[in-house]
Amino acid sequence: MRALTGDRRTGAEPGPEPDLGVLAARVLFSVQRELFTTLAEQGFDDIQPRSGAVLAHLRPEGVRASELARLSGQHKQVVGSLVDDLERLGYVERAPDPDDRRAKLVRPTERGLLQMETAAAIMRAIEERHAKALGEEPYAAFKEALKQVAQGQSGAVERPN
């Protein structure tokens, strides 16, 4: 049975507690909104949150599109379309994979590297703010638990005594 909650600020009737999916979506959308709004303010106003499926997993040395698909959980066709968009905007380029001549790497351009550095700084600020609000240890425990749930290893989460 779910606990019921109300909103004292709006007088809304009590409803069911949000489930894991709703809470995870709220966290995702909140972080995405802040990240991409701040990126836009800093000159990266031509990329959309959906591009995060590629941008979040780029590496300076490059990564194969198939690996981007695996890491992001997106279909190869979706990743290919996102890479096409980012290439057109000047954030990535396709280059031969030195380990396999048949394969291509998706590599960040100079603008892509700058965006990666800027996004990393924004994410550090977001995380630092949450760690300060919750406390360093509770935030670290939250992130570890969230990581384990995301990896399907929630049975391994240590429970406090």
CA 14 to chain CA mean position, Å: 31
For the segment(s) 19-149, the CATH number from 2.60.40.10, 1.10.10.10, 1.20.1600.10, 3.40.630.30 is 1.10.10.10
Write the DSSP symbol of residue 59.
-
Terminal Cα distance for the chain, rounded: 24
Tell me the C-alpha distance between 103 and 71, whole Å. 18
Residue with tokens 């990896």: 151
Tell me the C-alpha distance between 120 and 108, whole Å. 14
Q: What is the pLDDT along the chain (161 residues), one digit of tens a residue?
A: 445 555 556 566 667 899 998 999 999 999 999 999 999 999 999 999 999 999 999 999 999 999 999 999 999 999 999 999 999 999 999 999 998 888 899 999 999 999 999 999 999 999 999 999 999 999 999 999 999 998 886 554 454 44
Q: What is the pLDDT of residue 118?
A: 98
Task: Check: CB of residue 82 under 8 Å from CB of residue 65.
Answer: no
pTM for the full model? Answer: 0.80
Report CA dihedral (46, 51, 125, 67) to the nearest 10 degrees: -140
Beta strands in the chain (DSSP E): 4-7, 12-16, 63-64, 92-97, 100-108
Tell me the C-alpha distance between 64 and 97, whole Å. 8
Q: Where are the domains of the chain?
A: 19-149
Tell me the C-alpha distance between 14 and 4, whole Å. 5
For the chain, what's the residue count? 161
pLDDT for 41-88, tens place per residue? Answer: 999 999 999 999 999 999 999 999 999 999 999 999 999 999 999 999
Q: What is the pLDDT of residue 15?
A: 77
